[in-house]
Structure 1
Amino acid sequence: MAKILDRLLLFIYSLSVGIISVLIILLLSGLIPDLAQRQYDEMTTIIVISVAAVLFLLSMRFFYISVRRDQGSLPSVDQRTEYGDVQISMETIENLCLKASSKFRSVRDVKSRIHVTEAGLEITIRAIVDGESSIPQLTTELQKAIHDYVQEITGIPVSHVSVYIANLVQSPNYKSRVE
């Protein structure tokens, strides 16, 4: 809703500035007779016409922005099937990675990043672990689980899954109070 309102305001603004700048250019160039019949010196006229022309060009650009359709869509992976095209957003693939990693109790605060290459998807996982499991074994299992899950659900080949362990979960220290 806010985006529509912003576009409407930009449309009204660009239209009004464009009309005012055209009127100023026509008035000072003498194509429209001035009602007050004022005389302006030549330097002032040139400066005001130049500023009005720049404002007109800017208003045309803003007008175009306000009326054009949004062509930009979220990044996605495109697949062609025998029935048509399928687009899977990067956000969907990131959420699939999070879902696959949620099956591991010792893995916390997972973030994923997806890159599309000719060989397939390259997935980078950043996670925090609890430190109670073997990190090499855990990361290997995590890589395999994410690789298999994403490839099975999306049908897109996964070429590489790298895991970065950012930190360990700090368990809270509780001090007992003696009264």
Structure 2
Amino acid sequence: MIKVLDRLLLFVYSLAIAVAAIVAIAVAGGGFSEEWLKEVVSDFTGGVRVVQISVIGVSVLLLLLSVRFWYVALRRDGNSAPSINQRTEHGDIRISVETVENLALKAASRTRGVKDLRARVRVSEAGLGILIRAFVDGEGSIPAMSEEMQRTVAQQIEEATGIPVAEVSVFIANVTQAPATFKSRVE
């Protein structure tokens, strides 16, 4: 919720600064005559004193927004790396998503016939959703290999982290081409 509010404030702030910059460029470039500007100000506000108060109010608001954005930009976020948090009777445990991805890759690499692997982990209320993208050698049954990989990854992740695995999806991207070996024949 705070991130959405900060984005909205940043949009309003950027819009106000853009309008102020356009007006400043037009005034400095001689786009408006001084008499015309005084007439417009007096027509809308009824006097110079009201304009001063309005300018001070808008300036204070923009200054407060600037301070807020400086704070957001400079604060250290404790959750800088995405992690999975667990609470035990002894305290908190934080496991990075990268750690879970590496465990999934390690488990998937145990499957015979798998060559190049990539893993993505999503955290949901039901548990972890793991996507394995693999290249295979094409020597064995792809459905059997995929099921073995799913079973191995789910078991390994649950045993190592204690976090339930909701699903393991396997995407076989391609079949690797083994370099062809040719025997030279002498006649």
Q: Could you say which TM-score interval applies, normalised by the shorter chain?
A: 0.5 to 0.7
1:29 corresponds to: none
Structure 1: which 5+ residue stretches go unaligned?
1-41, 45-52
Would you tell me which structure has more helix in proportion to its own residues? Answer: 2
Task: State the distance in 1 between where 2:71 and 2:182 align.
Answer: 61
Matched, 1:172 2:154: no
2:21 corresponds to: none
Q: Percent identity among equivalent residues?
A: 47
Map Cα deviations across residues 24-67 of structure 1 (whole Å, 9 max, x no partner): xxxxxxxxxxxxxxxxxx957xxxxxxxx9xx97xx66x93698
In the alignment, which of 46, 69, 72 is matched to residue 75 of structure 2? 69
SS in 1 for 2:76: coil
CA shift in 2, pair 1:64/1:100, >3 Å: same
TM-score by length of 2: 0.59
Task: State the distance in 1 between where 2:100 and 2:143 align.
Answer: 24
In the alignment, which of 116, 119, 135 is matched to residue 126 of structure 2? 119
Q: CA deviation at 1:131?
A: 0.5
Q: CA deviation at 1:69?
A: 3.0
1:48 corresponds to: none
Aligned pairs, number: 129
CA shift in 2, pair 1:166/1:67, >3 Å: closer
Task: State the distance in 2 between where 1:167 and 1:43 align.
Answer: 62
Q: CA RMSD in A?
A: 3.1
Structure 2: which 5+ residue stretches go unaligned?
1-26, 30-58
Q: Is the 8 A contact 2:111 2:148 kept in 1?
A: no
TM-score by length of 1: 0.62
Larger relative contact order (CA 8 Å, sep ≥ 6): 1
Matched, 1:161 2:168: yes
